[in-house]
């Protein structure tokens, strides 16, 4: 890459510090033309890599700002090229003016993701790590950030390298059998070979399954509040959100359609949905709202069944009639501070419905609210930790799916009695795909699509 690129690398808007970044063979000479050192003239050859210099940024005779300048000599830089950073005060007008100076001195504007693309092309990072940087920048939650950080530190790359080693070993065994079939040598049995192939295939299948579950969670899990009118669903939604979102009224049927709000719960993206109160009604519009409530509740990732325990009720009968809705749900026993003598949580708990959790709460006193939020988080599979989840980009989902197909085809051929010369082609195909995972990408079109998602300056 013969040209030198420049861009503002800090977020748009005013801030304490703004950073200009240059990368390329002329990065140092271009930056040097605009630096005026306090201790007097400093020869270009005297600038040491990784030293911070306090100096002025100038445009000819005009002083623009007092800056900190750092030079990173290639290949020991982020991009693998000569790279310079100029730290200015974070005024957007000032940054733009300084950037225009660099352009006039020979740099060109960097394209989206071009710094990271150069790091990849120069072998400083692999493609998984490059994609993870984009995810780190754009992460919408702590959960997504932790997953992106794991990829940035090489988790997917190490897994792919391990699988590649296993496939190479498998291929070597097959080729040895083909080349030395007439020799008096001992090779692994067909069953042992099939076992090894199944093991690799299972790893890829499990990875895809975990990735699918992760993507579902990243797309926001649906937590649905359901129950009869005036049980306190809207009040509970407002308390969980920490602000008034749903209209609260003692008049039954106030909520006629579901209301939803996206927010983060313990760092996890959640869509909280307040539904219309379920009751017998002749109002056609309210009936439509109730039908939608039933649908939302049935499709929820976490079902929150809100009941009013301040009312006299036959709770044993209630539990029997609502068994299908109670199973697997969190039961929020609201108004527990003014509970009716007829209420006893054992009427529901003693049924031992699978997955049912009961929490006594009071929207008025906030009693039990923290416990309820904890139970919702737990139902969302304990996402305080991202340990059991994996984040795969669309490109890698394709490659791991292709590997799985190739290995399954290989097993089918082996079951059919095909010779090693035939089924080894499927192993070759799997090896080609695993090579693509860590970035053996040859087309400019694919690279352009990946790095175009990045911000300019990264």
Torsion (CA) 207, 210, 214, 217 in degrees, nearest 10? 160
3-state DSSP assignment of residue 173: helix
User: Is position 255 annotated in a ligand binding site?
Assistant: yes
Q: Which residues of 336-365 are buried (b: 16+ CB within 10 A; e: fewer)?
A: bbebeeebebebbeeeebeebbbbbbbbee
Whole-angstrom distance, CA of residue 69 vs CA of residue 33 = 12
| 356 assigned binding-site residue | no
Is there a binding annotation on residue 350?
no
DSSP H helices in 265-314 = 284-299
249 is in an annotated binding site: yes
| DSSP secondary structure letters along 344-364 | -THHHHTT--TT-EEEE--TT
Residue 67's beta-bridge partner residues? 55
Instruction: Check whether 232 is labelled as a binding-site residue.
Output: yes
Residue 276 assigned as binding residue:
yes
State residue 187 phi and psi, 5-degree precision: -115, 165
Tell me the DSSP string of 137-165. Answer: HH--SHHHHHHHHHHHTTHHHHHHHHHHH
SS3 state at 79: coil
Find, among 373, 376, 391, 379, the residue nearest to 140 by Cα: 391
**How far separated are the first and last CA of the chain, in Å rounded?**
17
233 known member of a binding site: yes
Question: According to the annotation, is 4 in a ligand binding site?
Answer: no
Partner residues linked to 20 by β-bridges: 8, 86
Residue 277 in marked binding region: yes
C-alpha distance from residue 79 to each of 24, 271, 276, 323 (Å): 9, 39, 55, 60
Residue 404 assigned as binding residue = no
Residue 235 marked ligand-binding? yes
**Residue 409 assigned as binding residue:** no
**CA pair distance 59, 22, nearest whole angstrom:** 17
Given the structure tokens 């120069």, which residue do they identify?
Answer: 122
- Judge contact between 431 and 96, C-beta under 8 A: no
Is 231 annotated as ligand-binding?
yes
Is 201 annotated as belonging to a binding site?
Answer: no
Enumerate the β-bridge partners of residue 134.
Answer: none
Does 251 carry a binding-site annotation? yes
- CA distances (Å), 99 to each of 4, 8, 83, in order? 13, 7, 15
Nearest to 147 by CA among 393, 377, 441: 393
Write out the binding residues for K(+).
230, 249, 251, 254
Write out the binding residues for Mg(2+).
234, 255
Write out the binding residues for GTP.
230-235, 249-255, 274-277
Write out the binding residues.
21, 85, 124, 230-235, 249-255, 274-277, 458
């Amino acid at each position: 890459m013969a040209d030198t690129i420049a861009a503002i690398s800090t977020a748009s808007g005013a801030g304490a510090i703004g950073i200009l970044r240059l990368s390329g063979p002329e990065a140092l000479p271009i930056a040097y033309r605009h630096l005026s050192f306090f201790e007097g003239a400093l020869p270009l050859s005297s600038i040491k890599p990784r030293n911070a210099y306090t100096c002025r940024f100038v445009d000819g005779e005009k002083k623009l700002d007092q800056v900190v300048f750092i030079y990173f000599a290639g290949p020991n830089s982020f991009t693998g090229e000569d790279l310079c950073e100029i730290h200015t005060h974070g005024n957007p007008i000032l940054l733009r003016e300084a950037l225009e100076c660099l352009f006039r001195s020979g740099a060109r504007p960097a394209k989206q993701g071009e710094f990271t693309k150069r790091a990849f092309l120069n072998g400083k990072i692999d493609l998984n790590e490059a994609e993870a940087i984009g995810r780190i920048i754009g992460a919408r939650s702590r959960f997504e950030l932790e997953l992106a950080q794991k990829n940035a530190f090489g988790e997917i790359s190490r897994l792919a390298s391990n699988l590649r080693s296993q496939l190479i070993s498998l291929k070597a065994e097959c080729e040895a059998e083909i080349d030395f079939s007439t020799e008096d040598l001992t090779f692994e049995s067909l069953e042992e070979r099939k076992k090894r192939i199944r093991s690799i295939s299972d790893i890829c299948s499990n990875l895809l399954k975990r990735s699918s579950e992760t993507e579902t969670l990243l797309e926001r899990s649906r937590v649905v509040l359901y129950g009869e009118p005036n049980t306190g669903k809207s009040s509970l939604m407002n308390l969980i959100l920490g602000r008034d979102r749903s209209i609260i009224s003692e008049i039954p049927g106030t909520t006629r359609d579901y209301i939803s709000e996206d927010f983060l719960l313990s760092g996890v993206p959640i869509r909280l949905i307040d539904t219309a109160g379920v009751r017998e009604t002749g109002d056609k519009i309210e009936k439509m709202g109730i039908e939608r409530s039933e649908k939302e509740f049935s499709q929820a990732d976490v079902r929150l069944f809100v009941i009013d325990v301040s009312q006299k009720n036959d709770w044993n009968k209630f539990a029997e009639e609502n068994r299908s809705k109670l199973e697997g749900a969190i039961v929020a026993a609201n108004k527990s501070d003014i509970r009716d003598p007829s209420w006893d949580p054992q009427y529901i708990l003693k049924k031992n419905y699978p997955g049912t959790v009961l929490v006594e709460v009071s929207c008025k006193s906030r009693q039990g609210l923290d416990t309820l939020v904890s139970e919702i988080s737990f139902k969302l599979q304990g996402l305080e930790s991202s340990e059991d989840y994996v984040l795969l980009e669309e490109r890698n989902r394709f490659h791991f799916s292709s590997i799985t197909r190739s290995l399954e085809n290989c097993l089918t051929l082996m079951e059919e009695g095909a010779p090693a010369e035939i089924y080894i082609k499927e192993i070759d195909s799997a090896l080609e795909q695993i090579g693509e995972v860590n970035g053996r990408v040859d087309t400019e079109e694919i690279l352009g699509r990946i790095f175009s998602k990045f911000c300019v300056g990264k």
